């Protein structure tokens, strides 16, 4: 049945920061059919009508996440990275079961939906269980089959073959797409990265890996090969497909030129980069070079919120601080980085904007809150979203036209049950 939404305003999610006041969004069969001012709307006599007091914006696209790590949120707080990994993370992950991952992902997916994040790129163990979790909450995900040499994991060749099998098993409704997620160039051998790249190019899959997150991670590779990680990836034929690189904090001009040449997209994770003291990525330089960039939260053990809307404030703040320039990132661009630009970064033109033909992933932000006033110009809503907005202002969410959050509550899963289950599992994993 066709569905008409009316709202105080529609935030389109495009680069120009278009805001349509007193707007209508028509949805049918999971897709957006029409968007524009109410005064110009076509007749819709047979449509169900939902009148919303706030603004409608596209479902946010989180370009980098390890969401099942809600099991480890806040653990090892304040430790340096090496001790945090050796003493806190790895012992817990060694005890992790597939059920733990599915329960944690279900809880985290519900949390993301509650924050207006309708799609996330997930890189973690047990990708099939991550997909099952997302289908239970009604969200979308691009689930990477993680490629990492680790005790307890099959040989890398087998991991690659399994990834292709998974890719072919994906449902055709746009809810889950599988890709390949080699952890990084310093953990996965270059020939395997190259094989993964060849496979993803051949099948149009997303290849997602960490690049230049810390200042020192590429030091051994530089000493061995005399090349930066981006140059090494280019030299080993890893670039050129649908490649999404997370973090990209320590990039020189030559590295950025390679990203531009090979159209590598960047998952920008300012909250994680700050918490782990990794550095400030060259966001303005990337955008000026035409590099595709989307916002990411990173995992909840290194963010810790899964609140992409709140992270926009960090993205804008850091870009301005780094450039000592209050115009270095506008509010309109910041919103675009979590919507249209993020969908573009992950190679999904069916998501990320409220325009006719795209999937009806809609977020209703309740603007009956003092932080959303005053609005002299409709574009003021973008400033309020970035500088004062957060997931707590999200009231309702639809994915493919189906309501998955109503009045701030999940319509699909029991979040109180899930929270208790996550707490029990986290306690068991911490015991050892
Ligand atoms: Zn990560």
> Residue for token digits 């099998």?
165
> Whole-model pTM?
0.97
Q: Judging by beta carbons within 10 Å of its beta carbon (0-12, 13-18, 19+), is residue 36 exposed, middle or buried?
A: middle
- Alpha helices (H) along 236-307: 253-262, 270-275, 283-288
How many Å lie between the centroid of ligand 1 and the Cα of residue 355?
31
- Please tell me the number of Cα atoms within 13 Å of 378 on its side-chain side: 17
Instruction: Select from 291, 383, 394 the least CA-distant residue to 333.
Output: 383
How many Å lie between the centroid of ligand 1 and the Cα of residue 388?
26
How many Å lie between the centroid of ligand 1 and the Cα of residue 380?
33
The pair of three-digit structure tokens given for residue 35, joined into one six-digit string: 């968007």
How many Å lie between the centroid of ligand 1 and the Cα of residue 299?
6
How many Å lie between the centroid of ligand 1 and the Cα of residue 305?
14
How many Å lie between the centroid of ligand 1 and the Cα of residue 64?
6
- Please report, in angstroms and rounded to a whole number, the separation of the first and last CA atoms in the chain: 52
Nearest-10 Cα torsion for 14, 18, 23, 27: -10
Whether the link from the prior residue into 211 is cis, omega within 30° of 0, is no
How many Å lie between the centroid of ligand 1 and the Cα of residue 425?
22
Instruction: Select from 190, 95, 93 the least CA-distant residue to 147.
Output: 190
pLDDT digit string (tens) for the chain, length 432 residues:
899 999 999 999 999 999 999 999 999 999 999 999 999 999 998 999 999 999 999 999 999 999 999 999 999 998 887 888 889 998 999 999 999 999 999 999 999 999 999 999 999 999 999 999 999 999 999 999 999 888 778 888 899 999 999 999 999 999 999 999 999 999 999 999 999 999 999 999 999 999 999 888 888 888 888 999 999 999 999 999 999 999 999 999 999 999 999 999 999 999 999 999 999 999 999 999 999 999 999 999 988 999 999 999 999 999 999 999 999 999 999 999 999 999 999 999 999 999 999 999 999 999 999 999 999 999 999 999 999 999 999 999 999 999 999 999 999 999 999 999 999 999 999 997
How many Å lie between the centroid of ligand 1 and the Cα of residue 417?
27
> Residue for token digits 């289950």?
421
How many Å lie between the centroid of ligand 1 and the Cα of residue 272?
9
How many Å lie between the centroid of ligand 1 and the Cα of residue 332?
26
Q: Judging by beta carbons within 10 Å of its beta carbon (0-12, 13-18, 19+), is residue 340 exposed, middle or buried?
A: buried
Instruction: Select from 279, 231, 283, 236 the least CA-distant residue to 258.
Output: 231
The CA-based diameter of the chain, rounded to the nearest angstrom, is 69
Non-local CB neighbours of 10 within 8 Å, separated by 6+ positions: 19, 20, 23, 25, 35, 55, 56, 57, 354
């Amino acid at each position: 049945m066709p569905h008409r939404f009316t709202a105080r305003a529609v935030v389109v999610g495009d680069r120009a920061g278009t805001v349509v006041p007193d707007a209508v969004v028509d949805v049918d069969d999971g897709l957006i059919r029409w968007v524009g001012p109410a005064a110009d709307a076509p007749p819709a006599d047979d449509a169900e009508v939902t009148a919303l007091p706030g603004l409608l914006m596209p479902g946010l696209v989180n370009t980098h996440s390890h969401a099942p790590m809600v099991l480890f949120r806040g653990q090892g707080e304040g430790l340096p990275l090496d001790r945090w990994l050796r003493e806190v993370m790895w012992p817990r992950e060694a005890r992790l079961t597939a059920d733990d991952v599915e329960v944690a992902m279900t809880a985290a997916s519900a949390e993301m939906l509650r924050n207006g994040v309708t799609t996330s790129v997930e890189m973690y163990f047990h990708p099939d269980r991550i997909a099952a979790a997302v289908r239970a909450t009604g969200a979308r995900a691009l689930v990477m089959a993680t490629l990492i040499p680790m005790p307890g994991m099959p040989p890398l060749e087998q991991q690659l073959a399994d990834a292709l099998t998974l890719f072919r098993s994906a449902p055709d409704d746009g809810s889950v797409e599988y890709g390949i997620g080699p952890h990084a160039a310093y953990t996965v051998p270059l020939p395997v990265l190259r094989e993964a790249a060849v496979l993803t190019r051949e099948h149009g899959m997303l290849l997602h890996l960490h690049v230049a997150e810390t200042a020192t991670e590429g030091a051994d590779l530089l000493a061995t090969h005399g090349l930066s990680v981006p140059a090494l990836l280019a030299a080993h034929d890893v670039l050129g497909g649908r490649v999404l690189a997370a973090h990209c904090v320590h990039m020189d001009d030559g590295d950025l030129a390679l990203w531009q040449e090979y159209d590598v997209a960047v998952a920008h994770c300012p909250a994680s980069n700050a918490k782990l003291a990794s550095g400030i990525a060259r966001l303005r330089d990337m955008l000026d070079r035409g590099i595709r960039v989307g916002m990411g939260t990173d995992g909840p053990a290194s963010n810790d919120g899964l609140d992409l809307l709140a992270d926009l404030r960090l993205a804008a703040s850091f870009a301005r601080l780094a450039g000592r320039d209050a115009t270095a990132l506008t509010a309109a661009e910041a919103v675009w980085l979590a919507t249209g630009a993020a969908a573009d970064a992950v190679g999904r033109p069916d998501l990320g904007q409220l325009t006719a033909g795209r999937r009806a992933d809609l977020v209703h932000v309740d603007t009956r809150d003092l932080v959303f006033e005053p609005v002299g110009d409709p574009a003021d809503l973008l400033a309020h979203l970035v500088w004062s907005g957060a997931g707590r202002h999200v009231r309702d969410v639809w994915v493919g036209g189906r309501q998955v959050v109503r009045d701030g509550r999940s319509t699909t899963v029991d979040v109180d049950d899930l929270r208790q289950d996550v707490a029990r599992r986290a306690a068991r994993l911490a015991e050892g």
